Structure 1
Amino acid sequence: MTTLKLKTNLRCGACVKSIKPLFDAEPGVTRWAADVSTPDKLLTVEGDGVSGARVGELLRQKGYEIVGEMPAETPATPTKARDDTQPTTTYYPLVLILLYLLGAVGLAEVAMGGFDGMRAMRHFMGGFFLVFSFFKLLDVSAFAQSYGSYDIVARGWLGYGYVYPFIELSLGAAYLANFQPVVTNVITLVVMGVGTVGVVQTLLARRKIRCACLGTVFNLPMSYVTLLEDVLMAGMAVMMLLLVLSHG
């Protein structure tokens, strides 16, 4: 792994925020940090094969540049921050959210006097989309930039990344309200199916990038856990669609 310590002309927190989506989505960048409180406006970048030239290209996309380097590129010991061998730590936010959703759905079923599988799935999917859209909506611009690094639609049309959180929000409300179940499940199947394609392409290319499923609040790596999440939601949509049609 290589570590670069670079002097830049980044001036404030807003400058750092503007480059965040680019560095978060850059393959090969494992960790980065910017300290604009120092005179050198130090930018530290770690990764496999990362170069000053590439960092400079990323900065110039937002109107900034490297003004010096200190020290020269040096090998660094891999850190535990992005160690994919520690799933309980890396995916802690995702696991916690899923446990909360399962607990809430279970309590709702108890309150309703009995377990109904279709109702439970509908409530779980509604909660899933509402919670995940919430984190994306905290910083829609950053999410759109990060999502565009791997989603096949957002890669060609950046606007899809801005619309996507609202699609999830609408699906969440539709599931909880039991609004047009056939239409809702078909849309879910299409959205999650398309998302799965981008995830599979990224995994096959072995690109080490951040997963945007929880927006840019948490540093979740793209992995087979992400793929499982998309496939699971698509599968539940298919199951619910079949149940709705069979009862129709």
Structure 2
Amino acid sequence: MSSHPASTRQATLYRMVMPKHTCPYGLKARHLLRRQGYQVDDRWLTTREATDAFKAEHGVKTTPQVFIDGMRIGGYDDTRRYFGKPVAAPGSTSYKPVAALFGMTLLMALAASQAAFGTVLTVQAAQWFIAFSMAALAMTKLQNIETFATMFLNYDLLARRWVPYAYLYPFAEGLAGVLMIAGVLDWLSIPLALLIGGIGAVSVFKAVYLDRRELKCACVGGASNVPLGGVSLLENLMMIGMAVWMALPALGASAVH
């Protein structure tokens, strides 16, 4: 990489800008170059013929293409690598989808607590966090239930014995979460959460810690690249914990009588 200050350098960007299509990676490449302090010579490829001719001339298969100091850097990912920025490898796993979901449901729970009680520091906020998370996780699974079921069958013990359970699971998780948010029909939501949470916890523990299998988790839908492991186990333990917590008052009342 050149040692000249980035603010004095020029970059040339070739990207597709057509009447019905503007390449999003071209926009991202332009933004990245400008953020790095480059003046961008933004050259548009406005027709399919012009794009194909450019690819043939430079021996490349895709656009956009970035040139710096007369040297071809490559596409958007190549440009990120040139600046030392991370680029996810194809098929690599990440906990980011789960972190994003749990982060948002936590904020939702705190906001609901603030609206209802005037403070975020309530036991109800913790309960809502788990219930919101269950509902949100179910929603991600239901976006493509066929793909979810296929991935789920890789490790869930009950689903591997009875395939329809893989399709029923997200509905059961969502129903339990919604009932817990509403605070109604505890007689249904508590055993439902205990059942699916318990089976899930045992299944994940066996697959990851006993069988040492490296699998992707279906927890946020079948298209995710979340690794099956501690976070997957946490999802199920949260359901179990919520169910036990909700059952304690009823158990205490029956013990008194």
- TM-score tier, shorter chain, comes to 0.5 to 0.7
Q: Distance in 1 between matches of 2:143 and 2:183?
A: 26
- Ranges in structure 2 where 5+ consecutive residues have no aligned partner: 1-87
Q: Higher relative contact order at CA 8 Å, sep ≥6: structure 1 or structure 2?
A: 1
Contact 2:147–2:223 (Cα < 8 Å) also in 1: no
Alignment partner of 1:214 out of 217, 220, 241: 220
Work out the number of aligned pairs and report it.
164
The residue identity in structure 1 corresponding to 2:181 is: L
Superposed CA deviations along residues 124-161 of structure 1, whole A, max 9, x for unmatched, are 23211211111111111111111111101100111111
Alignment counterpart, residue 154 of structure 1, candidates 153, 159, 182? 159
In structure 1, which of residues 214, 227, 234 is the aligned counterpart of residue 233 of structure 2?
Answer: 227
Aligned-residue RMSD, C-alpha: 2.1
> 2:31 maps to what in 1?
none
For 2:158, what is the secondary structure of its paired residue?
coil
2:25 corresponds to: none
After superposition, where does 1:85-96 map in structure 2 within 5 Å? 90-96=94-100
Q: 2:145 aligns with which of 140, 144, 147?
A: 140
Q: Deviations over 1:78-101 (max 9, x none)?
A: x855667xxxxx101101111111
Query: Are the counterparts in 2 of residues 126 and 176 from structure 1 also a CA contact under 8 Å?
Result: yes
Structure having the higher helix fraction is: 2
Separation in structure 1 between the aligned mates of residue 238 and residue 142 of structure 2, nearest angstrom = 23
Alignment of 1:177-216 (within 5 A): 177-203=182-208, 204-216=210-222
Residue 122 of structure 1 deviates from its aligned partner by 3.3
The whole-number CA distance in structure 1 between the counterparts of 2:175 and 2:234 is 22
CA distance in 1, matches of 2:115, 2:125: 12
| TM-score, normalised relative to structure 2 | 0.58
Q: Which residue of 2 aligns with 1:3?
A: none
Task: Rate the CA distance shift 1:124–1:247 in 2: closer, same or farther, 3 A.
Answer: farther
Which sections of structure 1, spanning at least 5 residues, go unmatched?
1-78, 85-89
Distance across 1 between alignment mates of 2:170 and 2:97: 19
Given the alignment, which residue of 118, 130, 134 partners 1:129?
134
- Structure 1 CA distance, aligned partners of 2:253 and 2:182? 18
When structure 1 is superposed on structure 2, of 213-222 and 223-232 the one drifting more is 223-232
Percent identity (aligned): 31
Query: Following the alignment from structure 1 to structure 2, what is the Cα–Cα distance between the partners of residues 93 and 146?
Result: 16
Provide the C-alpha distance between the structure 2 equivalents of 1:235 and 1:178, rounded to a whole number of angstroms. 16
Aligned partners of 2:150, 2:140: CA distance in 1, in Å?
15
Secondary structure of the 2:242 match is: helix
TM-superposition CA deviations, 1:44-68 (whole Å, max 9, x none) = xxxxxxxxxxxxxxxxxxxxxxxxx
After TM superposition, give the deviation of residue 219 of structure 1 in Å: 0.9
Pair 1:109 & 2:113 matched? yes
**Structure label with greater radius of gyration:** 2
Q: Is the 8 A contact 1:121 1:236 kept in 2?
A: no
Separation in 1 of the partners of 2:238 and 2:170? 19
* TM superposition shift of 1:193: 0.4
Aligned-partner Cα distance in 2 for 1:128–1:247: 28
1:242 positional shift: 0.9
